[in-house]
Amino acid sequence: MMMMELATRLRAGGTAAWDALTDKHPSAQPPAWELPPLYERSIADAVSAARAAGESDRAEQLLIHYTATLPAALAKQLAGADDDHAGLFYTELSPRSAPRLAHAIGHLKSMLKAAGVDPATAMSGAALGVAAGQSTTVAALHGGSCFGGAMPLLLAQPGDVRALANEACVRPGAGWASAIDARVTAPIIHELCHLQRSRDALAPPLLDECLSGYLGVLAHRATAYPVAGDDTAMFGAPLFAQVGQALVRVFGFAPLLRAHAGLVSWEDVCGTGFVAAAANLGSALFVAEGHPLHLLAGGQRPELWLKLIALEEAGELTPEHADPAVLEATSWSAIGTPRSARTQTADYEQELVRAVTDGLAAMCLSAQLVAVDPSDPSAGQLHRVRAALSTTPIVIHPAAAVIHRDLEPSEHGYGQQRYGLPLVVARRLAAGGDGPWELRIRTPAELDRSAAALVMGRMP
């Protein structure tokens, strides 16, 4: 009954928002006004729980957010009524004018094929067209994506659009296509990595974000780690991607991608115990964090999810670990050695190197808040993330299975850069002492050498 109410209100709210926009781009088409199954269930469960608890205001707040507020934002984007939104959503993008976007989508297609997933069943027609060398638009790509039936595109809020329009004006001979290729490839490929809308994603919604986030980094590394001179990475991307990376390392790239595409069940790939514990931990964190509207409870506590995954890898996960307090009280030293035979393979060692490399690269990111429009202070601010060697030391902490560093005064973030250290690597390092130890990376070349040394169990 709740699912039917949610679907009915979404169609009504979305249609009303679309019809209220009298000016639309000639190519504009209304969204499908439908949610992915995991979000539909998660919202319905949260609303039902709020009503059962007598909290009708909270229930209505959730319904308004997902059936009115977000659909209205999506409608404004896809309507393309003003010049700026038309520029972002309806500029024709070809592989020649948007090479980064074309390469990222082509890489996603190759990843799917390598995992035994037919891209035709996992990607939208617009994305497949780009991979085949055809032109498309941001509207077509997002409209056919997992969340494009009910939610707006990430990093395309009014401030983002205004800043992008200003940037398009200063790109001689390239304009919107060049600006989109630089700034919008990351959010687009992230959305596309959620694959088709009808699939049954891994619960809770945060884990679907983490896995899709890591796939986005694999398809387009600059999603999290921009090349020198660029400031185009998505703010906070490593926070989510490190959990997705751990899932891939423990359960395997091809099996996870097949489950992500809906070809096999999550229980077959991750085990019934882990799937249940992850869902229950998500529910507990949702309550503990005050029922956040975004449903991504636990997003700023990757260490909890990394512990849950490590316990599963060690064969020690129990239903009690779905309690955040129990999980937090479980020390890394109490978790056993990973049981997977994959720990003895060259591929697993490469995954360890990749994880530590990404962890060090995350320490070499700098995020600042910059003005949307320097000539208009009232326009607000947005994030810009670039690669930068930090003057603050990187801390390697084997006992806590983490790499971290403090932020510099000019940086913006969540208080501290943190990236999980694979437990296998932490144990190798701990054999030489408890730490923590400080590391300074002075050149980009030192990053790869340092990662290789750490994986071998020694400080560079």
Residue type, 111: M
pLDDT of residue 441: 92
Torsion of CA 6, 37, 79, 107, to 10 degrees: 170
Which H or E run contains 382?
strand 381-387
Q: Which two tokens stand for residue 426?
A: 């932490």
Q: What are phi and psi of 232, to 5 degrees?
A: -110, 5
Q: What is the pLDDT of residues 218-251, one digit of tens each?
A: 999 999 999 988 999 999 999 999 999 999 999 9
Distance CA 221, CA 217 (A): 4
| Mean confidence (pLDDT) of the chain | 94
Q: What is the pTM of this model?
A: 0.96
Q: What is the pLDDT of residues 352-361, one digit of tens each?
A: 999 999 999 9
pLDDT of residue 173: 54
Q: Residue 171: which pLDDT band, with cuts at 50, 70 and 90?
A: low
Distance CA 381, CA 394 (A): 28
Distance CA 355, CA 361 (A): 10
Q: Which two tokens stand for residue 239?
A: 């926070």
Distance CA 187, CA 350 (A): 27
Q: Residue 403: which pLDDT band, with cuts at 50, 70 and 90?
A: very high
Distance CA 135, CA 129 (A): 7
pLDDT of 414 over the 70 cut? no
Q: Residue 389: which pLDDT band, with cuts at 50, 70 and 90?
A: confident
177-204: average pLDDT: 97
Torsion of CA 19, 20, 26, 32, to 10 degrees: -40
How is residue 145 annotated by DSSP?
A: S
pLDDT of residue 434: 80
pLDDT of residue 344: 63
Question: What does each C-alpha distance from 414 to 54, 233, 387 come to in angstroms?
Answer: 34, 16, 17
Q: Residue 411: which pLDDT band, with cuts at 50, 70 and 90?
A: confident
